[in-house]
A = this chain, B = another copy of it.
Amino acid sequence: MSIDEKNDRIFKALAASSRRTMLDMLKDHPQTTGELCARFPALDRCTVMQHLKVLEQADLVIVRREGRERWNYLNPLPIKEIHDRWIGPYAVQAVSLLGRLKEDLEG
């Protein structure tokens, strides 16, 4: 899979707020699929699993099977990747834009 495809999967995975919330939930400690489902009472279990699949395919969630349970682990590396190669530079540009604005106001 190309870098662009990977990038795209990551951005697409982050596009849904439920999925971002799932990542937030996994940030402190891994959780089983059942636990995650319990924390999304509004969503059907199948829907939660579909979201997990999208996250897994973007490599944002890594799965370890243990008995009849499935532990979902957060993998923050792909986020760091898009951060480094795409988002970071924009943030820098935004800062320098603010800097220029400030200069303009002062000067």
Contacts and interface: CB of A to CB of B under 8 A. Distances in A.
Contacts of A95: 80
A40 B84 CA distance: 26
Interface stretch (A30-38, A42-50, A63-71, A86-94): A86-94
Contacts of A76: 90-91, 93-94, 97
Contacts of A86: 20
- How big is chain A's contact interface, by range? 20 to 34
A100 interface: no
Nearest to A19: B11
20 contacts: A11-B11, A11-B20, A14-B14, A15-B15, A20-B86, A23-B90, A27-B90, A27-B93, A76-B91, A76-B93, A76-B94, A77-B97, A79-B87, A79-B91, A79-B94, A82-B87, A83-B83, A83-B88, A83-B91, A87-B87
